[in-house]
Structure formats: C-alpha cells, structure tokens
Structure 1
C-alpha cells in the first residue's frame, strides 16, 4: 500500500507541475529523492507559477514515465556487452545500410553508398579494434573517416591500396603484402558487406567461417548424420590465385552485386597482392594460408557454386538413378522417394522402396577448402561421383586436384582419411565384455610396470652406493697411516701409473671394466649400475621370484591381446563388403603423433618426447610464461574437444605442456619442481590436471547459441598466434613506440623479435593453429604492450592485428 501511495503522490506532483512532455520524466526522477513532502509542494507551486503557459502533462504520459524509469533501472543492472556482442552490433548497423541498396534481387552501388561512408568506416574501425581486443572507450587513432570516404568515392583505388599497405620481403624474392590500418578498415567494411549479401545463399554443406557452421559442426555432421557409408574420399586442392580464378570470382560477385567501383577495388587488391587467397595451403611451404580479412568470405563465395553442383549430383544419383526400373506409380517413384528422404525425420522405409532399385546415398561436407565426400552404394557409382566432382573443380573452377585422389573402402581401411586436422575412420563399438577384458588387461600391465619401475629404482640406488663406496675405498688406500692394505687393493694398485691422481686412476679402472662388459650395447649408465652391479649381488631366490612374476604378467597380457585380435578379425571377416554392421560407426581422432612432433618443434619436448624448459621464455614475466603454455592447451582443447581420443590428448597435455611450464619456471628461479608447482597455481591460469579438464572444457566451450561461438566473428583469432611464433625481448631503441597492434595507443616498453615455428609443407595438418607463417615475418621486430603480448599468447588476437608497417627493418 505504501508503494501505491508513493506512486499516486508522484503522479499528482507530475500533473500539477505543468511540465512539457519531454521534461516530465526527468522532474519525476529527481523529485523521487526529495526529503520532505512540504518542500516538494513549495517547489511545485513555484514551478507551476513560472511555467503556467506550458501545457500540462497528461496522466498517460506520467504513467509511461514510470515504465521508462523501470527500463532505465534495468539497463543499469544489465551486464556490459561482450566483445563479440559489440562486433555483432557494428555488423548489424552496416547490414541495415546494405539492405537499403537491395532492389529486384540484386544490390546496387554498395561501394559508393555503403563502404565509402564515414559511418560504415567508423563501424569497421570499431570491429578492427575489437579484433585487437582494444576497449572502444580508449583513445583512438588519428583516422579521418570523411577524407577516407572521399578518397574511395573519387575512384582512387590503386592509390589507396598502394599507400595503405607494406610489402615484407625475404631472401629469394618471396614476399607478402600486409595492409596498414586504413586499408584494414576498408577491407573489414567490404567483408561485412559481402557477408550480408552472400550469407543467406550459402549451402548447408558449407562449413567454416560461418555463423553456426564452423569446425565442430562439420565434424558432428560426419560423425552423426552420415552414418556408415561404403566409400569415402577427400578432395585435396592446391591452387594459388591467378587471373582465371580472379575473373571467375568477380563474375560470381557480379551476379548479386551491380557495382563497378567495388569490382575495380577488388581487382586492385588482387593486383597489389593484398588478398592472400590460396586453396589447399601453399605448395612451397611458406605463406599464411587463408589469412587476411577477405580471404575466408571470398573462398566461400568461390566454392559456393561447387556446393550447389554437389546438390545436383546428389539429385542425379539418388533421385533420378538411371539404373532404376521404370515405375508408373507416383507413390513409388524414385524422385518422390528421394525428396522424402531429404525431409527432416524422413527416414527410409523398406515398404516405400521399390523392389530392385538400389539404395544410393551421397553425403558431402566442405570445411573451407577441404572437401569430404561419402557414398553409400557400389564402387561404380562412387567412381562416377568422384569423376564428376573432380571435373567440375578442374574445368569450371580452374582448381588443381591432387593426382593421388582415390576411393577408400570404409569397412576395410584401417588408416582413415585426413580431414580438417583430424583422422576420420570407421570403428566397431566394443561390447561390454570386450571393454572389461581391455580394462583388466590394462590394470595388469600397469601393475607390472609399477613393480618394474620400483625394482629398477632400487637396483640403481644400490649401484650408485657401490660406485661411491669403491671411490672412497680407493682414496682411503692412499693414506698409509690407516693401514688399509688388502690383497685386493694391492692387486689393483699395481696397475696404477706413477703420478696418476686418485680420480683419474678410478676413472681408468671404470673404463677398463666397461670395455670388458661391452657397455656400448646398453642404453645408459643406469642400466649398467642396475644390471651388472646391483642385480647380480641380490639373492637368487629374490631374482627368480621377480622374474617369474613379470613372465606371468607378460604371458597374460600377450594371450589376452592375441585372443582379442583373433575375435575382432573373425568378426571383420564375417562382415560383407556392402553390409553395414550394427555396431559400426564413424570416429573422429586427433593426430597424436603429429601433435608430438609439434611439441618438439615448439621446444616443449626433446627428441625422446620428454618435457623440457623453453629457454626463449625464461627472461619473460611469470604471467607471460604461463600464458604461453596456457595458449597451447586452450587452442587444442577448443579444437579437439569432441574427438574420440581426447582422453589421450589430455594425458599428453598434462605430461608435456604442464611439466614443461613447471620446468621453465623452475629454470628461471632455480627451484625444485615441487616447490614451483606449489608456488604457482597453474590451475587458475588454465593449465589444469587431468581431473580438472572437464570443468575447463565446460568453461571454454560456449553454447551453440552464444555469440562468442560464432566462427564468422572469431575466425583468424582462435586459429593463429602463440605456437606459430614466439616473442623474445630486445633492447629498446632511442625513440619511443606505441603498440603495433591496430587501434592500441598504449606505449610499447620494448620491441620483440618474431621466431617462426611453423614451416609446414602441403598437404598439412590443422591443429587449431595457423598451419604456416610466411618466412618473411621471421626475425621481424614489432612493438607490443604487455597486455597484447599476453593476448597473443592466449589467442585473444592474431598477427592480423599487428601493423608491420610501423617499423621497417
């Protein structure tokens, strides 16, 4: 009741104030905080006398002001917009301007009306700053958007492209052209315009750099919707952009956009080599594949015709199969049956199929320039589909296809196919009994390995004690006053040369002993001390008991392994070539062997696979060191979180990355590793133990409806950065620099040298990082603030956000 009374009093005061409509809300807001009712009445009378000629506020408007007050209070309590939400709002503002240029199925004058607009360029500049993880409220660059828009409208495209870019060269004539800030803003505006125009017409088989259709959606389609096909193949493309590709791409753009200025600007950027559009990676092993702002959208536009051609091929073989019998009944026609199968929840029923017609199914999935095709049917149909796909890519799109392309029988191939950085292959689901056998076998193997490690450690300890005892006795034999002359020492002493020191003499004795036992055949000195010194001295009963235990454990493991393999081979032989087993499925695996090579190339492990400290990071701050290792885990967790062998990857990340981080910090402070692990809470930085990985995955993986999961907004940021390069601090020059990241006005305390770690050759694996960095960037100096060094390590920004033209080497 008190709330209603106070609201009625506020309404009466608002009516009696005779304020205009635009001021009634503010007077109501301010008067809410008055302390005394009588003072309010006096002020209302004075204000009504001063403004008696103004029209009074109606009761409806006063009630509306209360709703507005509640809305303002709710907005104050609302959480601030995230980085991706701000990018989406900027894109929506540009989208409205693009939609205004739509007429009769085409878009007109987008360059002059939309791109060459100060408002659009300012929104694009905000997107560039958000890509650089810069707060929009921070100081801005000295960019005149009005002058830049006038330059674009005047048609001076070649001047804009050449003046706003810098070419990075290296020995051998190789180079890459990198955009400066102004050209980056223009490219971002053009990218958003092309996204708005072409995003609705993209096919459902297209994945990569799209909203809701990214890397994980492509893998889910293969593992869940395809089922278990008979044949599959991937189409490896390799082609650098040339005149044929450019002309074909421009003709495709002109089908939807009528704008000569935009076409001329695109042609100028291709001529200046600002756009790095390469299909299938760089054959020479250098470059930045699919890097740049416009490359992803242009690749999707260029391959969109292929997506629609796949649909035509699918309709030809499934709906209008030439080998089918003529059916007069419309309900049993092959075309009608095919349309029903394409409908949602339209499963194939045996009653609807016409007897004698083959069940042919075709599936295709494209992730950027990687193409995966699966066929359910005979080998002849699969060969026909493959030839049609290759012919269209080579003849219509002028792309080169690898000659080694061949069909792979899914049920007989155990190696699998490489697609989007993973291995796609068929696997049979293990039964409950088989899983129990595997679990028991692994427990026995683990128990035997633990006992072997304890046995070796104790023997090594005894061997080291023997070595120390022998050296001490040799030294004691030199002291004649002790009277430690024994027949054994006297026999050894006769081989000692005159003037030879004690340590030298002892080393000579060990060398003679090692030659007698042929120590070169052993792995290390620990095996010598354990096998030739300690173990022969142990009681024979103890050695026999341990060897008998290990022999029985190995016999059990080998027998169970052989029985399991025999069972699986018998089941595989019983399967027909074209009959899909009930317990078969398509599995996605991460390339663990390649990831081990990457860890060695990054300096995390040695040649034997054991973790070591990274010397290039020792001189950096503690938080940056931990961020460097956390960036590895975060990227690989995001990239491989849905693969079937993710648990093995977890163990690798803990055993290699986490231990390497601890050893790097231990090398910096010269501390024991256990003390280092207690001092630095690595779990808080995103480097967890195995049992904490599930919680970290839930934190890193947003829901599919979240804006932050939009790969169209995050492409190029989450797939490059940390492990592709490392930064090492150098001496600060005489003049001061700001941070080289576009849109950042913070001072750079020091310069850094880029060290390229990825020089991969085509074809290569994708592991969440950029597969290759151009060699001309190796050794270049850039200035970064501390925050952006951390962002680069964690993958919050990429090298696309760095302006390499600030400092010319």
Structure 2
C-alpha cells in the first residue's frame, strides 16, 4: 500500500502520516525562525538528533586548523542570537527522545518508567520544561527539589501520588472540588507527557490537528478553506464525556499496544485514582492551558481519538472505493475500485476528467475530515444518503467503541443553501460567491461615493449644530442684558418674554423656563436628541433656500447612484449565477472562514471593556495597578486575538473592533486613573510600542509582534500558553513583613511584593465559542488569592504564561 501515499487523491487526505520531510537549508536555528511553515517542523527533531550524534571520519590536523575560523564564526553568531524559548524546549525534548528510542525493541517500547522517566537526567529536563513554561531563565535560581531522590522513589514505586496533590474547593456549591498537582508531581507529569509524545507522534493521522507540531488551529482552518473545495454536505460531531473508568481503561489499552511497561501503567492508574488526570471531551476543559487540565490532557485526548481518525480512513475506503456503483460495471466501464486506485497514482483531477469524458458523470462520493482536538468537521461530496450513512457510521463508532456521548441534535447542513455557516474551532465556515475583479472595482467605487456623501452629511450636521448652539448662547445673553435697567432695552419682544418671569426667579431659571415652553410648542419629544432639535428647528430654517436645495440635491444624486449601482450589480450577479449554474455548480463559489464578531462583542462586554450600548469604558478593576500592567492587559487581548484570528476572511472588521473598543478602553482606564483628558493620555502613553495601535498603523505595528510571537504557534511545545485564560488580578494587600512569600509561579524564586485576587472572565458552557482564550476556568479559582511578582503578572496578562504554571496550593500548605 505504499504506492497510495504518493498519490494526490482522496486517500491521501486521511492517510496517516509517514516519515517526515527534512527541513530546508539554513540550519537548525533558521528552521525554527521559519516555524510558520508547518510542514517543515516535524523534521526538525530528526535533523537535530542526527546532529547530536555525528559520525565523522578522522580529520587531519591541517583540516582542523583550517576550519577554526568557520567554527568561531558560528559560535559568535550563536552568541549574538541566543536560543529562543521554543528552541530550548525543543532541545530539551530531544534529549528525552534519545532515551526513549533506546528502549525500542521488537515493535514496542519497554521499561520506559524505570529507564527514562525515573532518571535524574530526564527529571532534570522535565524541570527545565516546567521552568520554561513559567517563562523563566534556566540560569536563574532554582527550587529546592532533590531530583535524584525523586527518581529513586519512582524506580522503587515508593512515590505517593496522593501526597503530592492538593484540593481546591469552590466557594459555591456548584463549583465542586478541583485537584491540582504539586511541583514534584508536575515534573513527573511533564516527563511522562514527553515520553508519550515521542512514542505516538509519528503514528498520528494527517486529519488530526491541535497540540501538535505544525498542526494547530491555523492549519486546521487552512485545510478547510484551501483543500476541501466546495462540498455538498457538512456537519460537525459534538461530543461530550468526562473521563470515567471505561474511557480510562480504553486509554490504557491503547497505550499498552505500543508500550510494554506495567509500572508506567500503574503510575497512570494512581494519577487517575488521585483525580489529577482531568480530561473532558466536548465540554471544558479541553487542552487550552487551564489549571484543571494538567499536562497530560492534550496528548491523552489525541491518543484516544487517534483510533477514530483511522476509522475515518476506513470509512473513506468503503464509500469512495467500494461505493454503490462497484457492482454496476459494463464492458466499456471500469469498476469504481480500480478507478479509485488508479486515481491515487495519476492524480484525482486528471482521473475525473477522463471519467467525465467517457461516462459523462463524476465520482459520486468523496469524504473530507478534519479534527481539532475533540472538535470534528466532516465534509461530503455526494448524495444526502451517502452523507447520512457516513454520519451514522462515525456516531456509532464514537458511541459503541470509544464510549463517548454524541449530541442528538446533530444534522446535515447543505453547504450551498445555508448562509448562516457552520461553527468549528471558534469560527464560522461559510460558502460565498467569489467576486470578480470588475465587481470588486464597482463595489470599491460605490463605497467611496457612500463614504464621501456621509462625510458631507456629518459636516452639514456639525455646522448646523454649531449655529444652534450660538443661537442658544445669544438668547441667554439677551435675556441677561434685559435685566440691566440702565440699558433701556425695552422692546415689545422683551416685554412679551418678561411676562413668563415670576417674582424672585433668577436669570438662568427663567431662561430654562422659556426653553421648556418653546420645546412644548414644537413637540420636541419626537426628536432623537438635542442636536437634532437645534439643527432642525433653529439652524436649517435660517439658512438660504438655495443652499439647502443644493445640498439636498447632492445627497439625492449620491443615493440614486448607489441604489442604481446596487441594482445593476445584483442583476449582473444573478445573470452570472445562472450562466455558471448551467456550466458547473462550483465555479465562483469558495469557502470563507469568518470570526464571530457578534460573540466577540459580547466577550468585550463580559470583560468590562464596553457597556450595553457598545461604547468603550474604563475597567475599574485595573485602575490601582501599574501603568505597564494596565497596558499589558489590553495588549494581551489584542495579541491573542491576532494570533487566533489572523487568517480569517473578515479580519478587517475584527481589526476595527479591536482598535475602537480595546484601545479606547485602555485610554479611558488610564485617564480615569490620572483624571486627565483622553487626548492628553493618548499623547503621554505610547500605546503603539505595546502593541495597541491605531487603525492606520495596525499592519505596521503588528507585523513585528506577530513574528516575535511565532514561538506560540507550535502547539506541541506551548501547551495552552498562547491561548491562556482571561482574568483580572486585583490587589489584595501589599507586602506584610511578618510573612514573606515568593512568587506562586512554579520555578520562580522572586519575592512577591503583593497579593492578588483572581477574577475569572470566561465561564462558558458547552457548546461554546473559542476566541483564543481558555473557554472556561474552574469556579473554585474565582476569588483565589495568589502571590505574584511583577514580571509574572505582566506575563500572565500578555499570555506568555498560563494558569497551569501557578501553584495554587502555596497557601494551603
């Protein structure tokens, strides 16, 4: 079956990955700097490992001396460009990978717990990974952890899991009990995670995305928008199941297929009994940096659902290769099975053209699948009956074999007849008509005219409002002048107005009474605001009639042009659609990935950045914090959404929302802190330097930030760090001399100058949207006090550190 992998057809879309391709020229460090290219990341490990064990022939003294200059150049370049955080984690995992591969024998890995995990070198590397997750320098001060003693306890099975966990109980009854590991158990979990990654990563299917090197959130959306085309039917499979004894027994069975190690299995069983393996399918948490997940949740989820990925491959073989037309074979027509196998060799597109020319009909069924962690997207090209059969087979496998519960409201969505779209991985998958260059130019000219007309209308309204305010000020001045008897300003008009003034009434009160009488006469309640009142009843009647006629004529011509162009464009689109439908139903139709702007606006209101009307406001919980921390909190929102939605098709609308809401809310928060005008605040604080740009500078400012944040795109190395939860820390108290505490982040030895209270901002229920933040944080952590240094408060706000790195059990000890 090896020849099938070389084809470009439907089988390759679901075929499990084989050996990875090597990285391009440029060296190991250069490959990491180009980690955007996802297809090259998987080969970095093999290259670095081969470089770590060079097999060089003896070199003469002359050649060695001749290469000294070149080696010194490489060393100096390495000193100028130190290893990044992701590169250090990759090198650390490579050292563990060598020890794991040394235990491979006869198709299985043996005694990994004793020879790999229970090794002081492996625990040292795992501790370095924990510290790198905490965004710490490996040369900084370390915790007082005896790794050699810990390794001895693991080898002799004397390590007590229950003694190395602590429970956090929610204040409210519905919050429940949360069990979290201490530092020693966290180090062991990290070592076990890397071991499982090394064993299973080469066997994961191609349709699997999420928490893998080169296969994350962006690669899943890129596969849907670029490689599927336009299918006939789409559906997602919503599953939900908290890990129980049946699911965990199935996970252990899958692990034992490739690992022969009873001690490792026993240790994982002890962690399950101690409730530190927290795994939920479909609900929350789900592999996004939440404290209750643990380090093992993403890899265990991928291991468990990998059997489903291979079942999708078998379903694809049955429906595409052995379809209903396999028995219908004539003399001049080959069987579907032979045609399908040939399509894998010569290319599916060329094969379809030959089939259409000979039989005048295309291939009936084609299956596409994409899984992002526990979210499954399926697209089918073919009849509705075939799509229903595929859906039924997938649901039956999930229920009967994997013991997962599937939502009964699952339904097939016709792609071309549904404008609402399908929810997947926090985005909307929609099918839209691709516009031609001519239509784009027409739309661009029409929008320019609409914008020009609206700008003139705003200027007209502003000038009328200014005239109305001047009239108001002039009237008040005339009323005040009438009080001065020496001026002798007695006119019939003033005498008429004076009758409304009561005895002892002050001037301002009298003037307000006159305005109230005037507003009752004109029935001012019908108007929207005072601006329309002054403009409509004061300024506009006083303007020259020819000026008003000219402006109304201009606005009418602009509206007529826009409406005529809209009607002409709709007629052109309908005619093109009819012509295209006569030729083919897929030309000019593309799949678009859209960010849920309405839900993001609701998130901004829940976070406290905007009010119910959608206007930005200050965040009162941040006012007492340092300026840099306040700006970092807002910058973290923008940077995370930039990474999460950077490739959606409606990114321009999202960019405007970020600038209009997040930037203005940041300015108003700083203005509320210092009680100064917003313009002065904006000039005083250079928000562009922190990644909070204006609209015109958005692309230029975010380009270097995005390039510096590429380390977070490798989801296999940065578990949940790039999409950690949103929260606010409020000051609980400053440093108390009677009790000095260090920072609660694991591995950090810096003193904690203040105690903070954690306020959770995300509490979704299943099913929910993903917006680059953790979808749900356990209720027991809301209101929890933590001690943090200033460096890690900023790192938590910016998303460089997740809540998994915080040791919430310090105050419990």
Instruction: Output the TM-score relative to the length of structure 2.
Output: 0.86
What is the aligned partner in structure 1 of residue 168 from structure 2? 167
Alignment pair present for 1:635 and 2:640: yes
Structure 1 residues 741 and 287, CA, compared in 2 at 3 Å: closer, same or farther? closer
Deviation at 1:571, TM superposition (A): 4.5
Aligned counterpart in structure 1 of residue 86 of structure 2, from 66, 76, 84:
84
Q: Pick from 737, 740, 743: which aligns with 1:739?
A: 743
Correspondence 1:531 to 2:532: no
Q: Is residue 2:776 matched to residue 1:775?
A: no
In structure 2, what is the equivalent of residue 216 of structure 1? 218
Contact 1:422 1:591 in 2 (8 A): yes
Q: Contact 1:603/1:614 (CA < 8 Å) preserved in 2?
A: yes
Matching of residue 486 in structure 1 with residue 486 in structure 2: no
Of 575-584 and 442-451, deviating more is 575-584
Answer whether contact 1:230 1:578 (CA < 8 A) is retained. Answer: no
Comparing 670-679 with 635-644, greater Cα deviation is found at: 670-679
Q: Is the 8 A contact 1:725 1:754 kept in 2?
A: yes
Q: Please, which moves more after superposition, 365-374 or 248-257?
A: 248-257
**Counterpart residue number, 1:678:** 683
SS of equivalent to 1:737: coil
Cα distance change of structure 1 residues 475 and 273 upon mapping to structure 2, 3 Å threshold: farther
The question of whether the paired residues in 1 share the 8 Å contact of 2:161 and 2:270 is answered with no
Question: Do 1:363 and 1:374's aligned partners in 2 also have CA atoms closer than 8 Å?
Answer: yes
- Tell me the distance in 2 between the aligned counterparts of 1:289 and 1:762: 18
C-alpha separation between the residues in 1 aligned to 2:618 and 2:82? 40
Taking structure 1 as reference, are residues 345 and 556 closer, same or farther at Cα in structure 2, changes over 3 Å only?
same
Greater shift in the superposed pair: 681-690 or 771-780: 681-690
Moved more, 180-189 or 546-555: 546-555
Q: Secondary structure at the match of 1:800?
A: helix
The DSSP-based 3-state class of the residue aligned with 2:265 is helix
Q: Say which is worse superposed, 92-101 or 203-212, in terms of deviation.
A: 92-101
Change over 3 Å in CA distance of 1:783–1:511 after alignment to 2: farther
- The yes-or-no answer on 1:449 pairing with 2:454 is yes
Question: How do residues 233-312 of structure 1 correspond to structure 2 at under 5 angstroms?
Answer: 233-282=235-284, 288=290, 291-312=293-314
Contact 1:299 / 1:368 at 8 angstroms: preserved in 2?
A: yes
Answer whether contact 1:746 1:785 (CA < 8 A) is retained.
yes
How far, CA to CA, are the matches of 2:481 and 2:345 in structure 1? 92
Q: Contact (CA 8 Å) 1:758, 1:773: kept in 2 or not? A: yes
Contact 1:203/1:308 (CA < 8 Å) preserved in 2? yes
Q: Which residue is 1:593 aligned to?
A: 598
Report what 1:804 is aligned to.
Answer: 808
Contact 1:121 1:186 in 2 (8 A): yes
Q: Secondary structure at the match of 1:142?
A: coil
**Aligned residue in 2 for 1:351:** 354
Which residue of 2 is the match for residue 507 of structure 1? 512
**Contact preservation (8 Å) 1:208, 1:711:** yes
User: In the alignment, which residue of structure 2 is the partner of 1:16?
Assistant: none
What is the alpha-carbon distance in structure 2 between the residues aligned to residue 342 and residue 290 of structure 1? 45
1:364 alignment partner, one of 359, 363, 369: 369
Structure 1 residue 460 displacement after superposition: 1.5
Q: Residue 712 of structure 1 aligns to a residue in which SS?
A: coil
1:564-713 equivalence runs, <5 A: 564-572=569-577, 579-702=584-707, 709-713=713-717
Helix, strand or coil at the partner of 1:650: helix
Q: Residue 68 of structure 1: CA displacement? A: 5.6
Shift in Å, 1:497: 3.1
- Cα separation, 2, equivalents of 1:137 and 1:672: 45
Contact 2:285 2:292 in 1 (8 A): no
Where does structure 1 lack aligned partners over 5 or more consecutive residues? Answer: 1-57
**Contact between 1:228 and 1:580, CA under 8 Å: does it hold in 2?**
no
CA contact (8 A) 1:178 1:274 kept: yes
In structure 2, how many angstroms separate the alpha carbons of the residues matched to 1:611 and 1:265? 51
Give the superposition deviation at 1:778. Answer: 1.6
Q: Deviations over 1:571-630 (max 9, x none)?
A: 446665994332211111111222222222222222222333333323322222222222
| 1:550 to partner: Cα distance | 1.9
Give the 3 Å change call, closer, same or farther, for CA 662–340 of structure 1 in structure 2.
farther
Partner of 1:13: none
Q: Does 1:375 align with 2:377?
A: no
* Residues 335-346 of structure 1 aligned to structure 2 (within 5 Å): 335-342=337-344, 346=348
Contact 2:609 2:618 in 1 (8 A): yes
Which residue in the other structure is 1:49 paired with?
A: none
| Segment drifting more, 454-463 vs 164-173 | 164-173
Deviates more, 1:728-737 or 1:377-386: 728-737
Give the Cα separation in 2 of the matches to 1:774 and 1:536.
62
Contact 1:166/1:180 (CA < 8 Å) preserved in 2? Answer: no
**Highest Rg: 1 or 2?**
1
380, 386, 394: which is aligned to 1:389?
A: 394
**Matched position secondary structure for 1:165:** strand
1:323 paired to 2:322: no
Structure 1 residues 608 and 565, CA gap change in structure 2 (3 angstroms): farther
Q: Please give the alpha-carbon distance, in whole angstroms, between the structure 2 residues aligned to 1:339 and 1:122.
A: 50
**Matched residue of 2:367: which SS?**
strand
Is the contact between residue 278 and residue 289 of structure 1 (CA under 8 Å) also seen in structure 2?
no
1:702/1:708 contact within 8 Å kept: no
Greater CA drift, 141-150 or 370-379:
141-150
Mapped pair 1:75 → 2:75: yes
CA gap of 1:357–1:63, structure 2 versus 1, over 3 A, is closer
Moved more, 624-633 or 302-311: 624-633
Question: Counterpart of 1:199?
Answer: 201
Q: Is the Cα–Cα contact under 8 Å of residues 124 and 188 in structure 1 kept in the other structure?
A: yes
* 1:423 is the counterpart of 2:428: yes
Task: Provide the residue aligned with 1:405 in structure 2.
Answer: 410
Do the aligned partners of 2:691 and 2:702 also contact (CA within 8 Å) in 1? no
Distance in 1, matches of 2:203 and 2:708, equals: 25
Contact map agreement 1:291 1:716 (CA 8 A) in 2: no
**1:711 partner SS:** coil
Note closer, same or farther for the CA distance 1:329–1:112 as it changes in structure 2 (3 Å cut): farther
Once the two structures are superposed, the pairs formed by residues 151-190 of structure 1 within 5 Å of their partners are 151-156=153-158, 159-174=160-175, 175-190=177-192
Deviation at 1:287, TM superposition (A): 11
Structure-to-structure mapping, 1:33-48, within 5 angstroms: none
Specify every segment of 5 or more residues in structure 2 that has no aligned partner in the other structure, as ranges: 1-57
**Which residue of structure 1 aligns with residue 791 of structure 2?**
787
Q: Which has the higher contact order (CA 8 A, sep 6+)?
A: 2
Q: Summarize deviations over 1:167-206 as a string: whole Å, max 9, x none.
A: 2422114232222222211111111111011111100000
Following the alignment from structure 1 to structure 2, what is the Cα–Cα distance between the partners of residues 290 and 296? 12
SS at structure 2 position matched to 1:264: helix
Relative to structure 1, the CA distance from residue 130 to residue 287 in structure 2 (aligned partners, 3 Å threshold; closer, same or farther) is closer
Of the structure 1 ranges 208-217 and 468-477, higher mean CA displacement relative to structure 2 is found in 468-477
Instruction: Indicate how the Cα distance of structure 1 residues 763 and 461 shifts in structure 2: closer, same or farther if over 3 A, else same.
Output: same
- Contact 1:287–1:772 (CA<8 Å) still a contact in 2? no
- Cα contact 1:161–1:183 (8 A) shared by 2: no
Query: Residues 626-647 of structure 1, C-alpha deviation per residue, up to 9 Å, x if partnerless?
Result: 2222212211111111111112
- Deviations along 1:57-95, one digit per CA (max 9) or x if unpaired, are x99457646646753563243121111111011111111
Q: CA deviation at 1:388?
A: 1.0
Cα distance in structure 2, aligned partners of 1:447 and 1:122: 65
Tell me if the contact between 2:179 and 2:292 (Cα under 8 Å) persists in the aligned partners.
no
Q: How far off its partner does 1:129 sit?
A: 0.4
Alpha carbons of 1:520 and 1:262: their partners in 2 closer, same or farther (altered >3 Å)? Answer: farther
Higher deviation after alignment, 772-781 or 471-480: 471-480
Q: Distance in 1 between matches of 2:534 and 2:396?
A: 66
Secondary structure of 2:354 counterpart: coil
Q: 1:558: which partner in 2?
A: 563
